[in-house]
Structure 1
C-alpha cells in the first residue's frame, strides 16, 4: 500500500498533502491561498457558504468578494502568485493554469508583458512546482476579439494547453472551432469546459467539433453509457472538480458524485479543485472527501492521482 493510500485510510490530511498530486483544472482568480492573501492584503476571504444556483450567481459572488482584490495588472499578478502558493502548500507537484487571452488588455495588448507576469508569479509563488502554461478563452467573448487577443499569445510559442470556460450556453461550440484548429496546428493540447451544466451529448459534440484531448468537468457524460463508452474508447480524459460540483448544485451529495460511474465505465479522470478560494476545498481535501463518502476506495483514488502526474 502506498503512502498516499495509507494516509487516505487513516484520514491523515497532512500525509495526503505530503504526497505529490496534480491540479489540472483551476482558475487563478479563484484559486489563491487564503492565508497568503490574508498576509498580503489583510483581507480574509471566506469560501462560499451556500449552494450557488447558477453561473450568474457564482459570478455575482466573485464580483462581491474577489473582484476588487484582483483588479488590473497588479491584482492579476497577485491572483496568480497566490494560486502558485496554494499549489506549493498543498503538495501539488504539477499545476496546469494560465492566462485568459484577454489578459493582454492589462498590458496594452502586448503578450510578452503578460507572459513575464506569469513567469514572475510562478517564480515567486512555487518555483519548484511543475507548471504547464495554459491559454484560455472566455466563452462569452466575441469571436473576433478572441482571435485578436489569441494571435500574439499564440505567437509567443510558450503555452502548452488551450481551455474554453464560462457559460456553456453563451455561444454554440462550433463558433470556436477555427481557433481550436489554429491551436492544434501550433501543438497545444486542447481542453474545454463542457458537461458541467449541459448534457452528455454536449460533451461528445464538443469533443468531436473541437477535437478535444481533455474535458473540464464533463460529469454529464455519466448520464449516457454510449458517451462514456466513446470517451473511454477515444482516451479523452475528464478533469473533475467534486466540491465545485456540490457548491454549484450539479451534484446533491458527495456520496452521489458521478465520478464513480465514469471510472467504472473506463473513462480516464483526474481530481481537481476548480476554485479553492471560492469553494473552500484544497486538492488534498478533495481526495479525502471522496474517500470518506465511500465514492472510491484508496487504491482507485491513488490510481487517479498517478493519472494526473502521468
Structure 2
C-alpha cells in the first residue's frame, strides 16, 4: 500500500500557512520585498516558537496583496496537496488578509480563489471549500467584520466559519456575536481550541460558540469527562499531529493522544495545519501514524470516512468524494 496514493481528506489547512516557501520567495522577489529574515539557509521558514511563528506567518502573508496573488497561491497549494493524494480539502481563509474585511474587496478575492480552485479540480481532481476565519488576536470587532464577509458570501464554496490565532488572547464568548451571525447565514462552525489552551478552552468553544468541530482539541485528553462528552455529542476533532509535535505541544509522535482519543470513541481526523512551516505533508502524517500506532489501510479508511461525514460541503459533493474513497482498496 502506497500511503501517498491513498485518497485523503483534509479539514484543517490554513491557506497562507500552506504556501510553499519557494512560492513566497518568488512573490517577494517580484515585488522587491526583502523577506530574507523569515527563511533558514535551506530555504524553509524560520521561527523560534508559536508566537514567533505567528509573526513569521504574517510576514510571509504580507506579499500576498491582490486577488491574483491569492489565485496563484490556491493553485500552488492544491498542486502540492493533490500530489499527496488529497481529494477534498477545506481551507481557512481570512478577510483580514483579503481586502481588509471590506465585503466588496473580499468578493473579488473570493472570485479569484474559487476560479483557481475550479481549475485545480478540473486538472487534479481535488475539491476545495473555504472556511472564513476570524483572527483571535485581532479582537472581537475585527471578527464581526470577518463574519459579515462570511455571511454575505455563504454558499456552495464558502461553507463554514471559524476562529484561529493566539489562543492566549480573549475568550471564546467574546466572539459569540460573530458566530451567531455566521450560524444565521447557514454556515457550519468550527473553532481552534485545546492546542495551547487546556481542556477548558475546548469546553468554552463548545458552550459559548456552539461549534460542531474543534480545530486541534487534543488537550481534551487531560479531562476524561470532556473526552466522553466529545464522544457522546459527536464532536469531530481536526487533529494535526505533526504540527503539535513540531511546536512542542507533545514531545514525540508516540506520545500524541490521537490514538487514545480514538479509542475512547472521539471522532478524529488528520490534517497538516501549516505544512511547510511544520515540515510535513499528508503523506508524512500518515507515515508517522503508521509508525507510531501501527495504523493500516482500515484505520486510514475510517479516518477518511469520519472526515467525510464531518465535511462542510453539500451532499452531492460528499457523494462524489465517497466514490473516490470506495474506488480504493481499504482492507
For the aligned pair, the TM-score class normalised by the smaller chain equals 0.7 to 0.9
Residues 1:137 and 2:134 aligned together: yes
- Offset at residue 109 of structure 1 (A): 4.6
2:112 counterpart residue number: 117
Give yes or no for contact 2:71–2:112 (8 Å, CA) kept in 1.
yes
Residues 1:283 and 2:270 aligned together: no
Query: Quick one: higher RCO (CA 8 Å, sep 6+), 1 or 2?
Result: 1
C-alpha distance in 1 between matches for 2:208 and 2:174: 10
1:77 counterpart residue number: 71
RMSD, matched Cα: 2.6
So what's the TM-score if we normalise by structure 1? 0.85
Deviations 1:84-129 (A, max 9, x none): 2222221111100142122442586513212212112213444432
So what's the TM-score if we normalise by structure 2? 0.80
C-alpha distance in 2 between matches for 1:246 and 1:164: 22
C-alpha distance in 2 between matches for 1:150 and 1:259: 31
Q: What is the aligned counterpart of 1:90 among 84, 105, 122? A: 84
2:17 counterpart residue number: 30
- Offset at residue 183 of structure 1 (A): 1.3
Q: Secondary structure at the match of 2:196?
A: coil
5 Å matches for 1:150-299?
A: 150-158=147-155, 159-294=158-293, 296-299=295-298
C-alpha distance in 2 between matches for 1:75 and 1:271: 28
User: Structure 1: any 5+ residue segments left out of the alignment?
Assistant: 1-6, 8-14
- Offset at residue 147 of structure 1 (A): 1.7
2:99 counterpart residue number: 105
- Offset at residue 58 of structure 1 (A): 1.0
Q: Secondary structure at the match of 2:138?
A: coil
C-alpha distance in 1 between matches for 2:217 and 2:91: 18
Residues 1:62 and 2:49 aligned together: no
C-alpha distance in 2 between matches for 1:102 and 1:170: 17
Give yes or no for contact 2:8–2:86 (8 Å, CA) kept in 1.
yes
User: Structure 2: any 5+ residue segments left out of the alignment?
Assistant: 31-38, 310-331
Q: Secondary structure at the match of 1:16?
A: coil
| Structure 1, 105-114 or 208-217: larger mean CA deviation | 105-114
Give yes or no for contact 1:254–1:295 (8 Å, CA) kept in 2.
no
C-alpha distance in 1 between matches for 2:144 and 2:68: 25
Q: Secondary structure at the match of 1:24?
A: strand
Aligned residues: 294
| Structure 1, 66-75 or 170-179: larger mean CA deviation | 66-75
